[in-house]
A and B are shown apart, each in its own frame.
Chain A
Amino acid sequence: MSADSQHRFEDTTAAQQQFLSLFLRSEREVFRYVAALVPNVADAEDIVQQTALALWEKFESYDPALPFTPWACRFALNKARQWIERRQRWQALLDHGLAEELARRREELQPEFDRRLRHLEDCLGRLPNEQRSLVEGYYYQRTDIDSLAENSGRTVAATYKMLQRIRQTLQRCVEIRVQPEAS
């Protein structure tokens, strides 16, 4: 293969580069959009991946003059619907128009969420070490729950409970920080 033919290769993949560039910038937003419907992280990530494939297939129909994220979220909603249809439990949660209602209301609440959750990092830093490392293990390192439970000497149920309490603590913490701004 010569340097000459290499240039040709680079041209043919310009579209894919452009796509990835756009997608990677939106990936987080798309993930949160999906996770508002299917909050379980592993499932949400599956849906995001399927969304990415669908977007790539339809990339020719994307109008670069329009923002990418809303376009991507429309596909994500479709993919989430297809995923939910095959899972009875999740159907029970999102039936009767609740999926659409949650997606709509979430958009309205975004500025409010941003205002509160920008204190999240500060609040995370205030957690006692043990709690912080559990949150880190679960959300950041994505250690499976069995190992987390084993490492801390708790049962799986107790570990889930602990995560639930930590989220409550974090939520209270961000809310306290927001109040002085409001007054």
Chain B
Amino acid sequence: MRLTFPSVEFDDAVAGICHGSATEPEMRALNELLRGNPKARDEYLLRIELHTRLASESELFSQVANAAASDPWPELKTGSRQRVLPPNPPLRARRPRVAQVLALAAGLLLIAGGVWALWFNNSTSRNRATSNAVAMLTRTVDVKWDPRAAPPRVRGALERGTLRLKSGLAQVVFYSGARMVIEGPAELELVSSMEAVCPRGRLLLEVPPPARGFRLRTPQLNVVDLGTSFGMNATPGQSEVHVFKGKVALVAGAAAAAKRSLDEGQAVVVQGKGQPRLMTASTETFTPLFEFQERSLASEAFRYEQWQFANAKLNQDPSLLVHLDFESRGSTEWTLHNAADRNRAVPEAVMVGCARAEGRWQEKLALEFQSVNDRVRLAVPGEFNGLTLSAWVCIKGLDRPFNSLFMSDGFDPGTVHWLIRDDGVLGLTVFGPVHGKFQILASPPVISLATLGMWQHLAVVLDGKAKQVVHYLNGFPVSRHSLKFGPPYRVGSAELGNWNARSGPNPAPELVRNLSGSFDEFALFSRALSDAEMRELHAQGKPDP
């Protein structure tokens, strides 16, 4: 094989090199060409440079990152409190960060360096906050998504791109404040927080004042909302707009002459490239969308009941030491009842600060942690061969270097610290049988911007028999680690959502570890739950079916 320059074969070979798919004869031929032809060599280098810059300059892809470009790398100060999170998990999972690898490699050396050092050094590798999100998926009813793409999650951020709904209803709230209910089958392209394209489907849009000027396009129509509520029914050949409240401006087809405004109670229909026909607005076509709110609530109530039913069984598990559902109060106003029926060693937990909040379902109560004082304290006596910690949490932000989920006070032998690092890593620190020995078991970064504000199930299993620690997210293991220290393990005095460092009145910044977010369920078992049990635990509590 021989290559010439310029030629299609040269183009293909260079592309193959970039993608890792070039064959050996191609590579050999390219070698020969590049050594003998300086022009081809320079062109090759330019193409590769373009490719590698695309792969390494993440700010090319994000407006958010551009805003932060003046500070290209976060400073490596201990106790820095930047809300800096990695981008979406798939990237992180595929690309272990250099600093993580380093920390692993340097582990032996660092073990003398202590909890702080390793955590901090680990957490220095952080990307800038990046997001292309323009809207949020808030509610769904009986929804079926096109299986070709990963289904969006309720309360999850929606990035620019197309939503394909096969059936059911979904509510999308744009960051501009515009609220849209769509009914499948539908296709909706999210262009920005102020613009969407709907080639097909039925939708209802409400536009509050800050979102005035929101644009919605169909193949036939271009609608600019002037602060209203209107319905749209689009098929490839025909679009209808019905104004229920306020006013919209619309341009039909390409003809500027067809520009007009539509008042409350009016509707237009446009077929193909034809002229728009004026009609009276009809709510009939949109009945299911109007009913949406109600139906959505009904399906929530059903999930909530299912969860309560599952709990009645769970609370009989003899290995369940603590089960806080944040619904049943204890003997006083500031105590929480432990619902684990078979264990009376921990009758109650004590709330310090904290505010009531909405839980996974509208009727479900949760506890919100925000200030440095907010915490739930409990004391768990005993020694155990294994432990499982499980919690439903809605994280608002990772404000601290370490954000406590559940931590034993201080650093006593055999105890544990369960936390989320500010780069989205789940961590469990297990303290060894003697003072000063410990092991840190850290998952890859799994909490990202995209998952903030969503209810998530986090769990960690400490298995003394298998000498293993497993971190779980939403029922699935995200990492497994072998454990140096055998049982017994202890909990002792501990806190949910905060930490008592026992360090005196003015703790150093890195000793402040309060969580920013809500808990609506917490369970502690005196044994290691299996993968299957964890899946079930998650399935019973997940907010949407």
Q: Which residues of A approach B to under 8 Å, CB–CB?
A: 1, 3, 5-6, 8-10, 12-13, 16-17, 20-21, 23-25, 27-28, 31-32, 35-36, 39-45, 48-49, 52-53, 56, 88-90, 92-98, 101-102, 105-106, 109, 113, 116-117, 120-121, 124, 129, 133, 135-136, 139-143, 145, 150-151, 153, 160-161, 163-164, 167-168, 170-171, 174
Chain B nearest Cβ from A4, distance in angstroms: 10
Q: How far apart sit A94 and B78, CA to CA, in the bound complex (Å)?
A: 43
The interface bits of chain B over 53-78 (1 if a CB of A lies within 8 angstroms of the residue's CB, else 0) are: 11111111110000000001101101
Q: 8 Å CB contacts to A: which residues of B332-356?
A: none
Of A88, A109, A124, A164, most B-chain CB atoms within 10 Å: A164
Q: Is B106 interfacial (CB-CB < 8 Å)?
A: yes
B125 contact set on A, CB distance < 8 A: 20, 24
Interface of B is mostly: helix
Q: How far apart sit A89 and B20, CA to CA, in the bound complex (Å)?
A: 10
Q: How far apart sit A89 and B411, CA to CA, in the bound complex (Å)?
A: 53
Chain A nearest Cβ from B89, distance in angstroms: 10
Q: How far apart sit A81 and B138, CA to CA, in the bound complex (Å)?
A: 52
A9 touches B114 (CB 8 A): yes
A16 touches B148 (CB 8 A): no
B98 touches A113 (CB 8 A): no
The interface bits of chain B over 96-126 (1 if a CB of A lies within 8 angstroms of the residue's CB, else 0) are: 1011011001100010111111001100110
Q: Is B160 interfacial (CB-CB < 8 Å)?
A: yes
Q: How far apart sit A43 and B44, CA to CA, in the bound complex (Å)?
A: 19
Q: How far apart sit A101 and B41, CA to CA, in the bound complex (Å)?
A: 9
List 8 A-B pairs, minimum CB-CB distance, nearest first.
Answer: A9-B114, A40-B20, A93-B27, A13-B117, A164-B15, A35-B52, A92-B28, A140-B61
A6 contact set on B, CB distance < 8 A: 114, 116, 508
B121 touches A17 (CB 8 A): yes
Chain A nearest Cβ from B16, distance in angstroms: 8
Of B29-37, B260-268, B452-460, the one with at least 4 CB within 8 A of chain A: B29-37
> Of B48, B91, B98, B160, which contacts A141 at CB under 8 A?
B91
B52 touches A150 (CB 8 A): no
Can you list 21 A-B pairs with a CB-CB distance of less than 8 A?
A1-B114, A3-B503, A9-B117, A12-B117, A13-B113, A20-B76, A21-B76, A32-B56, A43-B20, A44-B52, A52-B102, A89-B27, A113-B46, A117-B49, A117-B53, A124-B60, A140-B58, A141-B91, A167-B18, A167-B51, A174-B50
The interface bits of chain B over 134-173 (1 if a CB of A lies within 8 angstroms of the residue's CB, else 0) are: 0000000000000011000000000011000000000000
B52 touches A32 (CB 8 A): yes
Q: How many residues of B contact A (CB 8 A)?
A: 80
Q: Which residues of B approach A to under 8 Å, CB–CB?
A: 11-12, 15, 17-24, 27-28, 30-31, 34-35, 41-42, 44-62, 72-73, 75-76, 78, 87-88, 90-91, 94-96, 98-99, 101-102, 105-106, 110, 112-117, 120-121, 124-125, 132, 148-149, 160-161, 189, 191, 411, 435-436, 503-504, 508
Which residue of chain B is the closest to A27 with respect to CB atoms? B98
Q: How far apart sit A163 and B21, CA to CA, in the bound complex (Å)?
A: 13
> Of A5, A28, A43, A136, which contacts B56 at CB under 8 A?
A28
> Of A3, A24, A40, A101, which contacts B35 at CB under 8 A?
A101
Chain A nearest Cβ from B146, distance in angstroms: 10
B99 contact set on A, CB distance < 8 A: 20, 24
Q: How far apart sit A45 and B97, CA to CA, in the bound complex (Å)?
A: 9
A35 touches B55 (CB 8 A): yes
B115 contact set on A, CB distance < 8 A: 1, 9
B91 contact set on A, CB distance < 8 A: 140-142
Known contacts being A32-B56, A139-B55, is A113 close to B124, with CB within 8 Å? no
B88 contact set on A, CB distance < 8 A: 141
Known contacts being A52-B98, A53-B102, A93-B30, is A163 close to B19, with CB within 8 Å? yes
Known contacts being A96-B31, A120-B50, is A109 close to B45, with CB within 8 Å? yes
> Of A41, A49, A145, which contacts B96 at CB under 8 A?
A49
B117 contact set on A, CB distance < 8 A: 9-10, 12-13, 16
Which residue of chain B is the closest to A97 with respect to CB atoms? B35
- Beyond contacts A102-B45, A105-B41: 13 other A-B pairs, Cβ-Cβ < 8 A, are A9-B112, A17-B120, A17-B124, A20-B124, A24-B99, A41-B55, A90-B27, A98-B34, A102-B44, A105-B45, A117-B49, A120-B57, A160-B21
> Of A90, A106, A133, A150, which contacts B49 at CB under 8 A?
A106
